[in-house]
Amino acid sequence: MSVLISLESIFPYVKWRKGQRELAEEVYRVSKEGGTLFVNYPTGSGKTVAILTGALKAAVEKDLKIYYLVKTKNQLISPINELKKIKSRQKVVTFSYIYNKKDMCLLKSLKGLDYLDFLRYCSFLIKNKRCPYYRKAVKLQGYLSNGDVNVYKYGEEMSVCPYELAKKNIPNTLITISVYNYLFNPDIRAIIEREVNLRLERSILIVDEGHNLPDSIISMLARELRRDWIMRARKEVAKFYKGEDKESIIGELTRLLSYFKYLERKIGGRKYLELNYDEFPVYELDPDKLFKAALAIERREGNELFSPLSYIRKIAEFWKELRTRRAAKVLIFERGFKTSVVKLLYVLPPPDSTDPLRKAHAAIVMSGTLPPAEHLIFTLNLQDKNVRSIGMSSPYAVNLKILGIKGVSSRYTERYEENFIKMAKLIREVYDSLPEGIVLAVFSSYDYLRYIIPYVKIQDVIVERENTTLEEINSKVRGKNKLLIACSAWGKVAEGIEIKVNEKSLIRAIVIAGLPVPEPSSYREKFYEIMLARTRDKDKAWKHTYVIPAVMKVIQALGRSVRSENDRAVAVLLDDRFFEQYVLNIINSYGYKVEEINPRLLKNSILSFFNKA
């Protein structure tokens, strides 16, 4: 039975911050009427609690269910904390949460298993009635946590499976917090729909960190095929499989190994090799036959003993996805230190993965760096949805002085030594203008970084490589008074680095060395083809394929410096293309203003800005 409640009776704080009430009202309106809302509110604006307030009001009044989805388990903490505060004011608000099954398992002996091995072992124990925690969970009736009970600790105390407790909780609570996989992975969603009576048409979806959603879906559906897996799979089949198709499977695996050897010769000194999907040799490998062989190999000891995931099953999983014709894919061959690998990636999220956004009564997609609404619509295939947008500029944007310099560019046609020296000289001038602090130099690609950095000639510099971690960077920064960090716009550092001491950012300057336009590839060609089909406009398709992704990498990098009202920093954009009106409009939409400056005045402008601080 629905009831009427006010926003104020839900909102757990004394005062609304700037933009919070307007956001709560818009979320309530969309959640009640139906449709999709894109929310572009900066970090620290209080968007999480405002969105929850508006969605909860609509859910209570219209008897709807809310699913709040985050990218990682660690991101569950923020909405859970806000919901605890809301629940202290509104007892009608009940919530639950569920995450990675392995992380919720009480069997310590399984923690070291690969995730797929864990799932199979879990199924084995349940099927053979050997998991004591699962047996108790099945018998338990009427458990309701309301979210304020730590479900893992409760399960531990009661010797009951926490995952099963969490699953039982979902139908009984108003809002469930979980990770992307549970709804955006079609295979997992099918299980959830069956086990918890998921009704998307009566649900409100809230997607946190929505700028990550397309890439996260592509990543969760990616598959890989390793040369050493094929070799081990062939040995497994030869030694343990007794089926009539044994010789046929061994023969096809041998041919597949020969193909890998051919690719290893062809790749030469390149980092990767793009394979033509339509020409990839599917041979006569049948996923169903491979799965049958895998099951026979894994059960070679009978049902009494558990055996690890077979390598032939890994081959089968890859082949199954390869044969699934649900969306455009690309195949990439890479040669690693120990083995070579073929990676299968979707160009865009397949339609069945984004079905929840289309089928839900309402969907709220939020982020501090959400791409333009039109880009998300076409990327997530939401052309037929009623979409609205609401945004607010960062209140700290005025603390970042952005200077733009013409006469330099990272265009491929301008990549020669004279321009490398010019770009390097400007980076060094920014560095020399700061008495202390970190300068983050963000290059358009790893290759461009390698071209420029020898000419910069700064002694204290950390250079990001493709495999560098944020932890490595942070450990090297300690104790440094002044430092240059050189990174790629497409790497981890530009997207996620945060270096603070006493709650104050140490990144005092950011140099964007070239507009990070994606390199041409078969992936981008297919992306463009899909965008052209969806937009029916060549110019729009080009911008969605190359320009918007580049500008969004810049927006993310600009956010690395000013993290609070106490921070002040300068950013210098080094590329003519930053002054194209379309690019400027996107940058301006985040509250940033770009000031063109003569290179000869750069040092004085930076010194003047910090002297006024």
- Residue 282 located in a structural domain: yes
CA distance 273 to 275: 6
Summarised one tens digit per residue, pLDDT across range 201-247 is 999 999 999 999 999 999 999 999 999 999 999 999 999 999 999 99
User: In the predicted model, what is the mean pLDDT of residues 117-123?
Assistant: 84
**413 and 547, same domain (yes or no):** yes
**195 and 280, same domain (yes or no):** no
- Residue 354 located in a structural domain: no
Does residue 451 have a pLDDT over 80? yes
User: In the predicted model, what is the mean pLDDT of residues 337-341?
Assistant: 87
**pLDDT at residue number 551:** 98
- Residue 590 located in a structural domain: yes
**509 and 381, same domain (yes or no):** no
Instruction: State phi, psi for 475 to the nearest 5 degrees.
Output: -70, -35
Task: Show the domain range for 154.
Answer: 98-170
**424 and 558, same domain (yes or no):** yes
User: In the predicted model, what is the mean pLDDT of residues 520-526?
Assistant: 89
Q: What separation in angstroms does the CA of 335 have from each of 268, 277, 605? A: 10, 18, 47
Residue with tokens 């499977």: 249
- Residue 189 located in a structural domain: yes
603, 431 in Cβ contact below 8 A? Answer: no
**299 and 325, same domain (yes or no):** yes
Helices (H), ranges, 400-518? 417-433, 446-456, 470-477, 492-496
Position with higher pLDDT, 507 vs 135: 507
Summarised one tens digit per residue, pLDDT across range 154-164 is 888 889 999 99
Summarised one tens digit per residue, pLDDT across range 316-333 is 999 988 888 678 889 999
CA distance 371 to 210: 9
Structural domain ending residue among the three candidates 155, 170, 185: 170
User: What are the residues facing 417 on neighbouring strands?
Assistant: none
Percentage helix, strand, coil for the chain under 3-state DSSP, each rounded to 5: 50, 15, 35
**pLDDT at residue number 168:** 86
**410 and 427, same domain (yes or no):** yes
- Sequence length of the chain is 613
**pLDDT at residue number 522:** 85
Position with higher pLDDT, 28 vs 303: 28
**pLDDT at residue number 305:** 45
Residue with tokens 């990144």: 507
How many structural domains are present in the chain? 4
Query: Between 151-158 and 132-139, two packed helices, what is the crossing angle to 10 degrees?
Result: 100
3-state secondary structure labels for all residues of 448-466 = HHHHHHHHHCCCCEEECCC
User: In the predicted model, what is the mean pLDDT of residues 371-392?
Assistant: 93
- Residue 355 located in a structural domain: no
**446 and 593, same domain (yes or no):** yes
| Interstrand relation of 340-346 and 175-179 (parallel, antiparallel or unpaired) | unpaired
What CATH number does residue 327 fall under?
1.10.275.40
- How many CB atoms within 10 Å of residue 160? 24
Residue 41: is it exposed, middle or buried by C-beta count within 10 angstroms (0-12/13-18/19+)? buried
**pLDDT at residue number 308:** 67
**pLDDT at residue number 304:** 46
**138 and 5, same domain (yes or no):** no
- Residue 297 located in a structural domain: yes
| Interstrand relation of 95-97 and 175-179 (parallel, antiparallel or unpaired) | parallel
- Residue 351 located in a structural domain: no
480: Cβ contacts below 8 Å, ≥ 6 apart: 438, 460
Kindly indicate the confidence band of residue 147, based on its pLDDT and cuts at 50, 70 and 90: low
CA distance 340 to 299: 29
CA distance 538 to 422: 34
What CATH number does residue 73 fall under?
3.40.50.300
User: What are the residues facing 331 on neighbouring strands?
Assistant: 275, 344
Position with higher pLDDT, 149 vs 56: 56
**530 and 473, same domain (yes or no):** yes
Instruction: State phi, psi for 332 to the nearest 5 degrees.
Output: -120, 130
CA distance 558 to 294: 49
**153 and 181, same domain (yes or no):** no
Return the amino acid letter for 400. L
Summarised one tens digit per residue, pLDDT across range 534-558 is 999 999 999 999 999 999 999 999 9
Summarised one tens digit per residue, pLDDT across range 242-272 is 999 999 999 999 999 999 999 999 998 888 8
User: In the predicted model, what is the mean pLDDT of residues 183-198?
Assistant: 90
**pLDDT at residue number 300:** 66
Q: What is the dihedral of CA 506, 509, 515, 517, to 10 degrees?
A: -10
CA distance 554 to 495: 9
**pLDDT at residue number 480:** 86
User: In the predicted model, what is the mean pLDDT of residues 504-530?
Assistant: 94
Structural domain ending residue among the three candidates 136, 155, 170: 170
**pLDDT at residue number 141:** 61
**253 and 182, same domain (yes or no):** no
**157 and 193, same domain (yes or no):** no
Instruction: State phi, psi for 110 to the nearest 5 degrees.
Output: -95, -5
- Residue 353 located in a structural domain: no
User: What are the residues facing 595 on neighbouring strands?
Assistant: 403
| Residue-averaged pLDDT of the chain | 91
CA distance 14 to 330: 52
**pLDDT at residue number 543:** 97
* pTM of the predicted structure, to 2 decimals: 0.91
Kindly indicate the confidence band of residue 486, based on its pLDDT and cuts at 50, 70 and 90: very high
